[in-house]
A and B are shown apart, each in its own frame.
Chain A
Amino acid sequence: MGEEELLKESIITSRLDESINFFDKILNWSRKYSLFQYPFATACCAMEYMTTSGPRYDIARFGAEVPRFTPRQSDLLWVVGTISHKLAPVLLRVYEQMCEPKWVISFGVCASSGGFYNNYATVQGIDSIIPVDVYIPGCPPRPEQILDALLLLQKKIDSQKALWRLSKRDSKDE
């Protein structure tokens, strides 16, 4: 989509558009400050994740307080650590079990690119299995980087358009 088209689409022309825009804002605001996380922790990066969740760095300040240990109740997947080819089907399954809307953060170099493991066992970046929203570099990353990644993701969520079915459903009914 070109830039002009995008601009045209974002112009509010009707009362319906206006209300959708308004509800989008509310929805995104509530989504970005109530992220339920699923930590898929497989390696040493998990220690940094724990530090970030702990009282010193306190990820709860940014509205991502509760880790849920079932993918069905969470909407943010942290892939924390090295993923081997043996584990890849499990990760894919966990991702598929999560309900939309869902986001993925690739935590540390091993998850992002395989890191220094370039061998028969390791997946060279989890983005070859599932889509990733934010990548965090570092081996392991500092807690500040993790908080930065969370803020980046919140920015992204804020700009997302929700899937309102109003207009579609109306036309179908008629």
Chain B
Amino acid sequence: MNESLIKKINEKFETDIISHLIDKDMPVFVIKKDSILRFVQFLKEDEEIQIDQVTDITAVDWYNKREARFDVVYHFYSYKKNHRLRVRVELNEDDAKIASISGIFKGADWFERECWDMYGIIFLNHPDLRRILLYPEFVGHPLRKDYPIDKRQPLVKLRKPEARRERP
């Protein structure tokens, strides 16, 4: 993504962008939580940027390391212009909710479900926010840093180690 486009985004969303930097692979915009929908809509509809694919949506847990506990990270790509950019939104633990962008990019649907499954971040107005990888009986969100590392939630009754070779 060239300089002029970055400048354009910066000027247009002056009040919404908290900070921005040019990372090794792509430019990064840290934006406010409330402006995500407008921001993504702009990226999609602007004729010079023409973002048409969500490559990935994931989260980062900064448990005990930072005041705002979660980062939600979006990766975008444009097939037509062949450029990428990354958008980051900081979320607090007690208000880990963000608007779903699956209305703008349909492909965001499953990424957001995965993100909810693993980190417990709620995507508001998502059409079908269920667990996607784990089973519905699972309690908690395993990629949060405070999930106990040796906690298991088996669906069938596990056999005791001493009885493992015997037939039931």
Mark A residues whose CB is within 8 Å of B.
85-86, 88-89, 92, 119-121, 123-125, 127-129, 131-132
Q: List 15 A-B contacts (CB under 8 A).
A: A85-B155, A86-B135, A88-B155, A89-B155, A92-B156, A120-B153, A121-B142, A124-B152, A125-B164, A127-B164, A128-B164, A129-B159, A131-B166, A131-B167, A131-B168
Number of interface residues of B (CB under 8 A): 19
Mark B residues whose CB is within 8 Å of A.
134-135, 142, 147, 149, 151-156, 158-159, 161, 164-168
CA gap between A131 and B154 in the complex, in Å: 17
Closest chain B CB from A77 CB (angstroms)? 13
Which partner residue on chain B sits nearest A125 by CB separation? B164
Closest chain B CB from A173 CB (angstroms)? 28
Tell whether, in the assembled complex, residue B159 and residue A85 are in contact, meaning their CB atoms are under 8 Å apart.
no
Q: Is the interface of B mostly helix, strand, loop or mixed?
A: loop
Chain A residues near B154 (CB-CB < 8 A): 85, 88, 123
Chain B residues near A88 (CB-CB < 8 A): 154-156
CA gap between A125 and B154 in the complex, in Å: 13
Tell whether, in the assembled complex, residue B165 and residue A129 are in contact, meaning their CB atoms are under 8 Å apart.
no
Chain A residues near B142 (CB-CB < 8 A): 119-121
Closest chain A CB from B96 CB (angstroms)? 20
Which partner residue on chain A sits nearest B147 by CB separation? A120
Chain A residues near B164 (CB-CB < 8 A): 125, 127-128, 131-132
Tell whether, in the assembled complex, residue B135 and residue A85 are in contact, meaning their CB atoms are under 8 Å apart.
yes
Q: Is the interface of A mostly helix, strand, loop or mixed?
A: loop
> What are the nearest 9 A-B pairs in CB distance?
A127-B164, A120-B142, A128-B158, A86-B135, A88-B156, A89-B155, A85-B154, A92-B156, A131-B167
Closest chain A CB from B145 CB (angstroms)? 13
Taking A89-B156, A119-B149 as known contacts, 13 extra A-B pairs with beta carbons closer than 8 A to each other, sorted by chain A number, are A85-B153, A86-B134, A121-B134, A121-B142, A127-B165, A128-B159, A129-B156, A129-B158, A131-B164, A131-B165, A131-B166, A131-B168, A132-B165
Chain A residues near B158 (CB-CB < 8 A): 128-129
Tell whether, in the assembled complex, residue A86 and residue B147 are in contact, meaning their CB atoms are under 8 Å apart.
no
CA gap between A127 and B155 in the complex, in Å: 15
Chain B residues near A123 (CB-CB < 8 A): 154
CA gap between A88 and B135 in the complex, in Å: 11
CA gap between A92 and B161 in the complex, in Å: 17
Known: A131-B165, A131-B166, A131-B168. A86 touches B155 (CB 8 A): yes
CA gap between A99 and B168 in the complex, in Å: 14
Which partner residue on chain B sits nearest A86 by CB separation? B135
CA gap between A114 and B134 in the complex, in Å: 18
Chain A residues near B134 (CB-CB < 8 A): 86, 121
Tell whether, in the assembled complex, residue B155 and residue A120 are in contact, meaning their CB atoms are under 8 Å apart.
no
Chain A residues near B159 (CB-CB < 8 A): 127-129
Which partner residue on chain A sits nearest B166 by CB separation? A131
CA gap between A129 and B151 in the complex, in Å: 17
Q: Which of B152, B156, B164 has the most CB of A within 10 A?
A: B156
CA gap between A88 and B159 in the complex, in Å: 12
Chain A residues near B166 (CB-CB < 8 A): 131
Which partner residue on chain A sits nearest B148 by CB separation? A120
CA gap between A120 and B159 in the complex, in Å: 18
